[in-house]
């Protein structure tokens, strides 16, 4: 199956700082990647769709200036949480879909804790 | 509003029995359907995809699709304790890149 990696797996940062999370498709090219957030015992929530070479499409209620997404190549998308606050503490998961299918393959996730 | 509905559970099934997980969706023209498994603290893992009416089998898993009833199900035969997880139903409506996830059903296999 398709493999997606994420880095880092865990990060602790201070309030007000920024954190960058990388998502890579390791064995396929992905023109589209997705970023999700999941709070403990809650549903998966789509934050944005990342498009290679163009601007990301954000879901309603997600601040694009706070959650910066860059999809610079067909195998890499990054999510930067800017000016992080404790309420941004969550499990951030990316996914990617090989171009010929709508199946999404998820990275292992990044657990962000903002102190 | 495109929706995917699942019973949140928990669904408790004895080890060795068949676990049956159900899902309904609202967008009649949806084309692609997926089942993901998510262990606590982990990211979702794709276990089955189905695109046509009928059954699709893969090992102990069988996905069933009935587009007329807008219903998708997942059967797990010979349930094992390692099958205890949350199962997410997902639907790709109208060929959009996005897929819509249900809230998931927690499955607990009793040893």
pLDDT mean across residues, chain A: 94
pLDDT (mean) for B60-73: 97
Residues 2-61 of B with CB under 8 A from A: 32, 34, 36, 42-46, 49
Predicted pLDDT of residue B97: 81
Predicted pLDDT of residue B72: 98
Token pair, residue B82, equals 């390692």
Q: How far is residue B53's CA from residue A58's CA, in Å, rounded to a whole number?
A: 33
B43–A93: do the CB atoms touch at under 8 Å? yes
Chain A residues whose beta carbon lies within 8 Å of the beta carbon of residue B49:
101, 103
Element (H, E) at B13: strand B11-14
CA Rg value for chain B: 13
Note the pLDDT tens digit of each residue in B27-42.
Answer: 888 889 999 999 999 9
What is the percentage of chain B residues whose pLDDT exceeds 70? 97
B99–A107: do the CB atoms touch at under 8 Å? no
Say if B88 is an interface residue toward chain A (CB within 8 Å).
yes
Predicted pLDDT of residue A54: 86
A115 close to A14: Cβ distance less than 8 angstroms = yes
Predicted pLDDT of residue A96: 95
Q: How far is residue B37's CA from residue B59's CA, in Å, rounded to a whole number?
A: 15
Of B32, B44, B104, the CB nearest to A106: B44
Say if B92 is an interface residue toward chain A (CB within 8 Å).
yes
Kindly tell me if the per-residue pLDDT of B65 is higher than 70.
Answer: yes
Of B48, B82, B49, B54, nearest in space to B68 by CA: B54
pLDDT tier at B1 (50, 70, 90 boundaries)?
low
Point out the least confidently predicted range of A32-36, A99-103, B45-49, B93-97: B93-97
Q: Is A13 helix (H, G, I), strand (E, B) or coil?
A: strand
Closest residue in A to B103 (Cα) is A43
pLDDT mean across residues, chain B: 94
Kindly tell me if the per-residue pLDDT of B95 is higher than 80.
Answer: no
Predicted pLDDT of residue A97: 87
Of A43, A105, A106, the CB nearest to B104: A43
The segments of chain A whose pLDDT lies below 70 read: none
Q: Is B98 helix (H, G, I), strand (E, B) or coil?
A: coil
Who's near A61: CB < 8 A, 6+ residues apart? none
């Amino acid at each position: 199956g398709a493999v997606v990696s994420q880095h880092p797996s865990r990060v602790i940062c201070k309030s007000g700082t920024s954190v960058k999370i990388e998502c890579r498709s390791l064995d396929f090219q992905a023109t589209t990647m997705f970023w999700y957030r999941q709070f403990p015992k809650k549903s998966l929530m789509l934050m944005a769709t990342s498009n290679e070479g163009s601007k990301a499409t954000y879901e309603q209620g997600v601040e694009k200036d706070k959650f910066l997404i860059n999809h610079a190549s067909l195998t890499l998308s990054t999510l930067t949480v800017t000016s992080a606050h404790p309420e941004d503490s969550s499990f951030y998961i990316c996914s990617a879909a090989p171009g010929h299918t709508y199946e999404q393959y998820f990275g292992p996730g990044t657990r962000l804790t903002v102190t | 509003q495109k929706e995917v509905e699942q019973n949140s559970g928990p669904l408790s099934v004895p080890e060795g029995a068949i676990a049956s997980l159900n899902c309904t969706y609202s967008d009649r023209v949806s084309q692609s359907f997926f089942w993901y498994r998510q262990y606590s603290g982990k990211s979702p893992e794709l276990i089955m995809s189905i695109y046509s009416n009928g059954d699709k089998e893969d090992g102990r898993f069988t996905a069933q699709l009935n587009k007329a009833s807008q219903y998708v199900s997942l059967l797990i035969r010979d349930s094992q304790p390692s099958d205890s997880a949350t199962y997410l139903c997902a639907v790709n409506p109208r060929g959009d890149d996005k897929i819509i996830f249900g809230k998931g059903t927690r499955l607990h296999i009793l040893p």
